[in-house]
Amino acid sequence: MTMHSRLKMLGQLKDFFNKSSYDKNLQLMLNKEWLDFFQKLTYAQIDTIRKYSLLDDSKTQQEQDEKKIAQEKENAVQKSVATTLPTIEEKVTAQPQAKQAPVEPQAAMETKESYYYLPQVLAAMLPRLSNKSKEISVPAIPKWKTNLQTSVTKNSIMSRTRHILNSIATAESNASKWRRIDDLLQHIEQFPEARHHAVKDGGIRILLRTRELTKDEQIRGTIREALAVLGHVDPLPARGIRILAIDGGGIRGVLVIEMLKKLEQLTGKKVYEMFDYICGVSTGAILSAVLGGHKRKSLDEISVLYKELSTKIFTQSPLRGTSNLVWSHAYYDTALWEQMLQEHLGDRDLIKTTRDPIAPKFSVISAVVNHERVMAYVFRNYAIPIGVESQYMGSHKHKLWEAVRASAAAPSYFEEFKCGEYLHQDGGIMVNNPCAVAIHEAKQLWPNSPIQCVVSFGTGRTPFNMNTCAEDRKEASASSWKEKFYKILDSATDTEAVHTMLNDLLPDHVYYRFNPYLTEMLTMTEIRPEKISQLEQDAAMYIRRNEEKFQKAAKVIMQQKTPSQSVVDWAKLQKNILGI
């Protein structure tokens, strides 16, 4: 059957089916016939279309060549005549050239190209139609087959881990050692299960031995990070674990800065030298990150910076703040807050702060609110050792500024912070006094070491009278929903309940809690200079009244390691290096 007759037959069938009732089988047969027709049209007619286009090309090329030859002959004649009659022929030859100019340019070519533009389009389009018709019959490939190449087996991860560890052990130059250790860190980051294999295959022993034989500080810093990722913790520099915990409280963190200045004055050491573990929540998280991070500042610098940042962030017009609260559930500018955090804390990962030999272990706490239950989340600059499990969710795979941003995301003040699959809010919702969490985390790192001291700083309190009068009780029973909400919130963020429990459990010479009484309980967002000065005066008054307590705490902090402890720590280190 010829192409023309088949097309005519298909047209008649189409008219017939339009008039008749719908039948799915007939429709499928008709679709198949149309598909057959287009396939034959594609492969049968495309050659003729291309022949026409090539013929057109050859004709246009021949015309161009003929015109070019004629033009060259004419130019040659004009030049020969111009040598004899230059003055007369210049005027005569100028006119033909001007008339011939429009014939030569690209416009003539474009008009000729338009003759074979449609065949070229069809020639390019018809093969695509035929390919699409072929793709219809190709079955879909299952996902498990496409993912075979991307999946990595357990044996390949183990062999890669062993290869990297062997290359670290056999590396000779400093550059080679640094590259191999960096390869190990990237390998563990890509395949977290490689961490377990590295510890099992003696990775800690190899890294400790490499650190003993290396004097280059850059390589030693990379080794410290790798050891922290594997969960290794160096022996304590003092007699036991020294823990610092800082409560939340917004601008009232000025009180903590003043009390830390007193401890530095009594001990003659910086905060990061006095404590082995620092933990904070909300405003305490800011202080912990600045005191334990890589951009450490003095307490005087922190005090000035604290006031400047508070003034910038908490200065907000009521109209704009209310509109922000409606649209984003945040009264203050969250974008500005994030920008300031990145500027002052940097963009470094938490785990990379361990490259500094004097950096303490520290953590900040947030509250995860997109679970069935609100849960505390611990941002760490260390990894929990293999075989040990913390009671709190957490990770070291975060930026330093992200940890502070999550911990200080106070509801209605700043927007919630989404980090990975979790939605974070202010850690004070769950643990406004992080002292108990700090003790738990520190014991995961040094399970066999005693607690030397625990110093807990609060952000102020007001005297509470237990003997309330009957009228007050009557008014309280008829309080509004707003008052009830704030009372529930106040009880949930109470810091003294944790203090009461720890005060009963820990000895007096170990646990020290400092929480000044305030003339007036200020809000978290207070920025008036006279009110901030009032906070500093309250702190100074509290320090004078508790001078003896501060001196006792400083004395306990300064207790040195005994000779027997030094010998035991050295023996443990040699045991780890030798792999005994």
26-68 confidence digits (pLDDT tens): 556 656 666 665 565 544 455 555 555 555 556 666 677 777 7
Ramachandran angles phi, psi of 146, nearest 5°: -75, -25
In a domain, 216, yes or no: yes
In a domain, 468, yes or no: yes
In a domain, 450, yes or no: yes
261-273 confidence digits (pLDDT tens): 999 999 999 999 9
* 577 pLDDT tier (thresholds 50, 70, 90): confident
A 10 A CB-CB count for 579 gives 11
Instruction: Look up residue 89 and give its DSSP letter.
Output: H
A 10 A CB-CB count for 240 gives 19
Same domain, 447 and 388: yes
pLDDT of residue 270: 94
Mean pLDDT across 548-571:
94
Ramachandran angles phi, psi of 301, nearest 5°: -65, -40
448-506 confidence digits (pLDDT tens): 999 999 999 999 988 765 554 444 554 545 555 555 544 544 554 567 788 899 999 99
In a domain, 523, yes or no: yes
Same domain, 359 and 478: yes
pLDDT of residue 145: 52
In a domain, 531, yes or no: yes
* 383 pLDDT tier (thresholds 50, 70, 90): very high
pLDDT of residue 319: 53
Strands 375-380 and 393-395: parallel
* 300 pLDDT tier (thresholds 50, 70, 90): very high
Range of the domain at 335: 241-561
pLDDT of residue 32: 66
Are 303 and 292 in contact by the 8 Å Cβ rule? The answer is no
Same domain, 387 and 264: yes
Last residue within a domain, chosen from 135, 167, 199? 135
Q: At what angle do helices 217-229 and 203-213 cross, to 10 degrees?
A: 160
Same domain, 250 and 219: no
CA nearest neighbour of 352 among 311, 388, 393, 398: 398
A 10 A CB-CB count for 535 gives 24
* 166 pLDDT tier (thresholds 50, 70, 90): very high
Same domain, 216 and 277: no
Those residues with Cβ within 8 angstroms of residue 51's Cβ, 6 or more apart along the chain or in another chain: none
pLDDT of residue 17: 59
The SS3 of residue 123 is helix
Strands 393-395 and 417-419: unpaired
pLDDT of residue 271: 94
What CATH code is carried by the domain that includes residue 323? 3.40.1090.10
pLDDT of residue 137: 52
Comparing 23-37, 79-93, 158-172, 325-339, which segment has the lowest mean pLDDT? 79-93
Comparing 280-284, 408-412, 515-519, 536-540, which segment has the lowest mean pLDDT? 408-412
Ramachandran angles phi, psi of 421, nearest 5°: -95, 0
Token couple for 429:
């919702």
Are 381 and 387 in contact by the 8 Å Cβ rule? The answer is no
A 10 A CB-CB count for 97 gives 13
Same domain, 76 and 51: yes
Mean pLDDT across 5-13:
66
Token couple for 247:
């409560």
Mean pLDDT across 139-153:
61
Please list the active-site residues.
282, 426
What mean pLDDT value characterizes the chain? Answer: 79
113-131 confidence digits (pLDDT tens): 444 444 454 455 445 444 4
In a domain, 4, yes or no: no
Same domain, 421 and 528: yes
Give the amino acid at 334: T
Comparing 145-149, 228-232, 266-270, 535-539, which segment has the lowest mean pLDDT? 145-149
Query: What is the rounded distance in angstroms from the CA atom of residue 135 to the CA atom of residue 400?
Result: 51
In this predicted structure, the answer to whether residue 181 has a pLDDT above a threshold of 70 is yes
* 566 pLDDT tier (thresholds 50, 70, 90): very high
Last residue within a domain, chosen from 107, 135, 163? 135
Angle at CA 257, nearest 5°, toward 254 and 259? 110
How many domains in the chain?
3
pLDDT of residue 360: 94
Residue for token digits 């016939």? 33
More confident residue, 32 or 572: 572
In this predicted structure, the answer to whether residue 299 has a pLDDT above a threshold of 60 is yes
Report which secondary-structure segment, H or E, holds 245. strand 241-246
- Which residues sit opposite 393 in a β-bridge? 377
Contacts 24+ apart (CB under 8 A), 189-195: 189/397, 191/152, 191/157, 193/154, 193/157, 194/157, 194/158, 194/160, 194/161, 195/229, 195/230, 195/231, 195/383, 195/386
In a domain, 235, yes or no: no
Same domain, 219 and 252: no
Give the amino acid at 227: L
* 140 pLDDT tier (thresholds 50, 70, 90): low
* 407 pLDDT tier (thresholds 50, 70, 90): very high
CA nearest neighbour of 400 among 267, 299, 280: 280
pTM of the model: 0.71
CA nearest neighbour of 289 among 241, 360, 385: 360
Strands, DSSP E only, in 396-510? 417-419, 422-426, 451-457
- Per-residue burial over 144-168, b if 16 or more Cβ lie within 10 Å, else e, is eeeeeeeeeeeeebbebbeebbebb
Same domain, 489 and 364: yes
Most confident of 71-75, 183-187, 370-374: 183-187
Same domain, 540 and 406: yes
In this predicted structure, the answer to whether residue 414 has a pLDDT above a threshold of 50 is yes
Most confident of 10-24, 260-274, 289-303, 418-432: 260-274
In this predicted structure, the answer to whether residue 95 has a pLDDT above a threshold of 50 is no
In a domain, 5, yes or no: no
Last residue within a domain, chosen from 229, 256, 282? 229
Same domain, 432 and 381: yes
Mean pLDDT across 16-22:
58
Are 202 and 165 in contact by the 8 Å Cβ rule? The answer is yes
Same domain, 175 and 42: no
More confident residue, 358 or 21: 358
